[in-house]
A = this chain, B = another copy of it.
Amino acid sequence: MSLAQNFATRTRRMKASEIRELLKLLDRPGILSFAGGIPDAALFPKAEFAEAYAEVLAEAPGQALQYSVTEGYLPLRRWIAGEMARIGLACGAENVLITSGSQQALDYLGKLFLSPGDTALVGWPTYMGALGAFNAYEPRYDRLHIRTNRPAEDYRAAAEAAGGRVKFLYLSPDFANPTGETVDRAGRERLLDLAEDLDCMVLEDAAYQSLRYEGTPVPPILALELARKGDLDACRTVYCGSFSKTLSPGLRVGWVVAASTVIQQLVLMKQAADLHSATINQMAIHRVAEACFDAHVDKVRAAYGARRDAMLDALERHMPDGVTWTKPEGGMFVWLTLPRGVDGADLLARAIEEKNLAFVPGRAFHADGSGENTLRLSFSCADAPMIEEGMKRLGALLRAPRT
């Protein structure tokens, strides 16, 4: 007998991810890795977390160690509602659900909206973890044209021809993983128009939104929709936030802001799936956020902003002709486009072998398997000398003939 014959059909879409395999490379001695898109542990507010856990366990241990409500810790939901109001997104705690990181929000949103054969519109490229989360619900993907218009009718006809409907468009509008690019206000308004035409949802992944190093913040898509409609419960945009890139990813605390109809259904789903996110972590992160969120985010932005500058500067000096890259205003990533015919995965194999250097080849971010001549560089965990040395090695590799 084979255990696998008992697996559901959806498992055919669940394969080992390149991110996962690549994270293992970070342990290689001496490797210069620009692969993992993770925050720098040196920047975590460690003393503040130590104090917060000590206080929570001194003042309310019975509550911190006990089961709690699925919606999440109310003081934290209220704090988040206050933060949302500061970015144009006035809402009540009843519009906020706490999730175990924004990755869990993506899983639950796929589960909430996608029946097999439905269509999800995503960028080419897009966050590969979103594709991983959605794959479990067996959607069809179509390419979301973010900066150009494509008639709604074309999306609709293609979805119906495949036997489903367009259920949502997904994007990370600020300093996206993997490109680092930001969608301007006009682009966001166009996407809202498209969603209206398609009568579908908009999933706004705001994981990196707080990490802006220059330029003027663009209102969240949900804020623009709220300005149009005046009522959050009439909005089709679902906003996914996270503390992972600002305070700590190890606590697994993120949130969703959406219309009550959506929140209520997500609460039912989360209750059935894991009851609630860890009580103690919600209480601790609430204290740390109250104590130092703005000051800590300023510190993180200063550090990552300097690393971005160092990377853009080093790229300018070391990349050969024919290589282009994005100029992100925030986040953790720069996206490189290599000359046609240069394959990012082949290049990675050579980089590891010849240069002890790592990055993420771009194909895994493309739902259609294209993007072979692209790659993602992360600067969040690299200091200036490492960036200089890494880009020098990458430039040399791109100049060297393949053996």
Q: Which residues of A contact B (CB under 8 A)?
A: 1, 3-11, 14-17, 20, 23, 38-39, 41-42, 44, 46, 49-50, 53-54, 57-58, 61-70, 100-101, 103-104, 107, 111-115, 118, 129, 132-133, 135-137, 165, 167-168, 199-201, 236, 244, 248-252, 259, 261-262, 265, 268-269, 271-281
Contacts and interface: CB of A to CB of B under 8 A. Distances in A.
Nearest to A50: B57
Listed from nearest, the 10 A-B pairs whose CB atoms lie closest are: A41-B62, A132-B272, A250-B279, A46-B61, A65-B248, A104-B274, A50-B57, A107-B273, A53-B53, A65-B250
A39 to B, nearest CB: 8
Contact of A251 (B8, B70, B107, B280): B280
A7 B200 CA distance: 10
A61 B38 contact: no
A58 B65 contact: no
A65 B41 contact: yes
A236 B3 CA distance: 7
Nearest to A3: B261
B132 A20 contact: no
Contacts of A4: 261, 265
Contact of A136 (B50, B104, B111, B278): B111
B38 A269 contact: no
Contacts of A107: 272-274
